[in-house]
Chains A and B, each alone.
Chain A
Amino acid sequence: MTVVDIGLPRRLVEFTLDGEQVAVPEGSTILSACKDMPTLCYGDTLEPANACRVCMVEVEGSRTLVPSCSRKVEPGMVVRTDTERTRHSRRMVLELLGSATDLSTTPQVAEWMAEVGADPTRFGPDAATVAQPAHVDNALYVRDYSKCILCYKCVDACGDQWQNTFAIAVAGRGFDSRISTEFSAPLPDSACVYCGNCIEVCPTGALSFRREYDKRAEGTWDESKQTATTTVCTFCGVGCNLTLHVQDNEIVKVTSPHDSSVTHGNLCIKGRFGWQHVQNT
């Protein structure tokens, strides 16, 4: 998270990263010192869930690999990010995820898979998956859990880390775990306030704007034709930053910059979805 640090300067901690001496502020994670470390469940505005295990690294003296997203750097630590062992782990994690989940809208994952040679089809055509019909139960957004990797980000954004609405939680256990409202109630019957902060943090496209979902279904969703313009929301005096994603002169989705000190990426229903009126005038 890009937080403006106005406290005392933090002490530096030195450690070895892939053979090089590196110094990072005390309390930093290993991930923060890495360039281009793949991760799915890490969120720049959220506490690490360290659930996806894509970012595992080798730390000397540790029996198992270590999640770089949450492990804090300690003085003298010796970390390796690219070894046979880390590559095997990353390949397998991506293969397992890809074999169970539809990753077709997860940015970058195809590149990571190619890099480590992951082949999710090797588990055979009968491998169990989380495929299921999408929940299209309201006009604003769609929950397509066939794409869900259970990264916990939406739950954390909806719950005590940001929104404090607690409309969704992880239910069930093991492979049967899923994001759910109470008794799987449709969203309109749940506590959801349609802030869309869960969509903002979802790394896979499992949660998406209804407009995006419909356009993808029609085959008219085209990110190469989209522009993004950041402006200030006019609905109230808080002054949230909005980024309007426009395709063919139509606002197709609204996000908010995660480094905005006003929103940290979070909006309310008006800023997130209240732009239909712009089109209608």
Chain B
Amino acid sequence: MDLRFLEAAPSTVEQDAIDAALDGTDCGRDQLLPALHAANDAVGWISEGALNHICRRLSVPPAEAYGVATFYSLFAMEERPRKVVHVCVDLACKVNGAEALAAAQTDYVVRSPCLGVCERAPAALAVEAGVGSEYLMPELPLPQKGDPSLRLLRRVGVVDPSSLDDYRAAGGYAALRNAFLLGPQDVIREVTEAKLMGRGGAAFPTGRKWAATAGQPERPHYLVCNADESEPGTFKDRVLMEGDPFAVIEAMTVAAYATGCTRGYLYIRGEYPQAFTRLQNAIDVARERGFLGTNIMGQPGFEFDIEIRRGAGAYICGEETAIFNSIEGFRGEPRSKPPFPVEKGLFGKPTVVNNVETLANVLLILTEGGQAYQKIGTAQSTGSKLFCVSGTVPRPGVYEVAFGTTLRELLDLAGGVEDLRAVLLGGAAGGFVRPDEIDLPLTMEDARAAGTTLGSGVVLVLDGTVDVGGFLLRIAEFFRDESCGQCVPCRIGTVRQEEALHRIVRREGDSQDLVLLRDVGRVMRDSSICGLGQTAWNAIESAIDRLGVQL
């Protein structure tokens, strides 16, 4: 390609940071996101000179690199203070004093969508160029820590997350050993028999996905672990990654073995500094000790390695095809399906995408067997589920319960709720449950029958003190901000939805605004490209129809 570049030159700091990030890699377009991170991390923003240097190193046209950089909210395209504080103003934090926290900061404040630490609301993350990031809230122990009924969370807060030996002493790598004994096809059979459903939100049967990928003759196959976790109110994957990082690596290795992948990407949202560091350490240690690379655990001919990719502030990159574009160095816009990822995914090759929690379940299935696994929970929703309880509850946090546990039982674990107004189940794309419905069994099928979804496990509690109108407005604002902008129903529809809701909440609306909301909601659901636009009206519709919110 005969590319034309800008005149601007990078500073020495920028150039060194970019060159260090690109050192030793084969420097293709897929290094664009890491290179942009390197520049932004070093000086706090992406200058013309830095972008130009990246474009020269990677042979990427500057206009395209600019298009990619401006897609992500963590990248600043204008100089700003070296230290910024991202204050979460999203759902759980909003009802827990986010605005006061923002006002109290002396540093430069960026108002942020959900930071994924809702149990410690209101949340704030300080990011300093050349230094790093840290949470400004105190640590909070796992509420169920030490509970013998824990399965997915049993090691969290108990083992040293930096130690492979601790992990192995606590049962680690037994699942992979069993996988090798079974062989790839029987691993898939066990997972199918366990009736494991994806925990990323869409509840797709994992066994089917794996079988479909394993059967594709085209090579290579890729594995993507989806750790983007940006649905407001979701923080379960972070707790797993921070507390049990080797389990994520082992589970990815099992998945790769079953589906014939030699390379895996762990795509983690950019706002998870601690999970990132611990996972990177786990990958390095595992590789050193022969648990990644060639002949893993002495298994002849099995080769697999993992690369971590940091997202950069874009909820949409958690969508299973947007994640491919993001990894490949393009704008994180979802692709049109079909073709589906199992046929043409990352780099156009057959790809398995699985959520962190989904993968964590695979380890249980391989240690106890699919038959035993599926006895937990209900006939259709097998196993246990991590719920992210936040909002106005005494003990917010991640709770693990068997499917079929009622919402009331879950809320009791979290300290109970007085004066309950509603529970938002499933996140911004989910729906509301009324106080008279809290005996709802938490299963995929019961949630669906109740007009909502378990989604990614969000249980956001609102008591009588919460301003429901303001809460709904925040949901609308979230979708407007996070729409990738590719398709008309969502790009413009989310704006019109927010505008109409604004009028209604300010009591300037009329009955036509309700008609308008329904019309816009319907076209978003029917004609948007991806799940973001298709569900952007769910929670608001649910508030109107099921909560009877007087708008």
A90-115 residues with Cβ-Cβ distance < 8 A to B are 92-93, 96-97, 99-100
Q: Is the CB of B486 within 8 A of A171?
A: no
Q: Is the CB of A64 within 8 A of B526?
A: yes
Whether A201 sits at the interface, judged by CB under 8 Å, is: no
Q: Is the CB of A50 within 8 A of B492?
A: no
Q: Is the CB of A176 within 8 A of B66?
A: no
B63-107 residues with Cβ-Cβ distance < 8 A to A are 63-67, 70-71, 73, 77
Which of B70, B525, B528 gathers the greatest number of chain A CB atoms within 10 Å? B70
Residues of B within 8 A of A169 (CB): 61, 63-64, 66-67
Which single residue of chain A is at the shortest CB-CB distance from B6?
A182
Q: Is the CB of B483 within 8 A of A173?
A: yes
What is the size category of the interface that chain A forms with chain B? 35 or more
Whether A136 sits at the interface, judged by CB under 8 Å, is: no
Q: Is the CB of B492 within 8 A of A51?
A: no
Q: Per-residue 0/1 for B480-495: is the Cβ within 8 Å of any A Cβ (1 yes, 0 no)?
A: 1111111111011111
CB-CB under 8 A for A93 and B63, given A172-B485, A175-B495: no
CB-CB under 8 A for A88 and B519, given A50-B336, A126-B499, A169-B64: yes
Q: Is the CB of B492 within 8 A of A65?
A: no
Which single residue of chain A is at the shortest CB-CB distance from B479?
A174
Q: Is the CB of B526 within 8 A of A89?
A: yes
Which single residue of chain A is at the shortest CB-CB distance from B4?
A191
CB-CB under 8 A for A122 and B512, given A51-B486, A96-B489, A174-B494: yes
Contact of A173 among B66, B77, B485, B512 (CB under 8 A): B485
Q: A123–B492 Cα gap in the complex (Å)?
A: 11
Whether B496 sits at the interface, judged by CB under 8 Å, is: yes
Q: Is the CB of B495 within 8 A of A128?
A: yes
Q: A117–B484 Cα gap in the complex (Å)?
A: 28
Whether A23 sits at the interface, judged by CB under 8 Å, is: no
Task: Name A's interface SS.
Answer: loop
Q: Per-residue 0/1 for B281-292: is the Cβ within 8 Å of any A Cβ (1 yes, 0 no)?
A: 000000000000
Residues of A within 8 A of B522 (CB): 88-89, 92
The 30 sampled A-B contact pairs (Cβ below 8 Å) are A50-B487, A52-B488, A56-B526, A64-B528, A64-B534, A67-B336, A88-B523, A96-B489, A96-B492, A96-B523, A97-B492, A100-B495, A123-B500, A127-B495, A149-B488, A166-B3, A169-B66, A170-B485, A171-B70, A174-B483, A174-B484, A174-B485, A174-B491, A174-B494, A175-B485, A177-B484, A177-B491, A181-B63, A182-B48, A183-B77
Binding site for A on B (CB under 8 A): 1, 3-4, 6, 48, 51, 61-67, 70-71, 73, 77, 314, 331, 336, 480-489, 491-496, 499-500, 503, 512, 516, 519-520, 522-523, 525-529, 534
Interchain residue pairs A-B with the least CB separation, the first 3: A166-B61, A177-B485, A169-B67
Q: Besides A150-B486, A169-B63, 17 other CB < 8 A contacts?
A: A51-B529, A53-B487, A64-B525, A67-B336, A99-B492, A150-B491, A170-B67, A170-B485, A173-B73, A174-B484, A175-B485, A175-B495, A180-B66, A182-B48, A182-B63, A190-B63, A191-B3
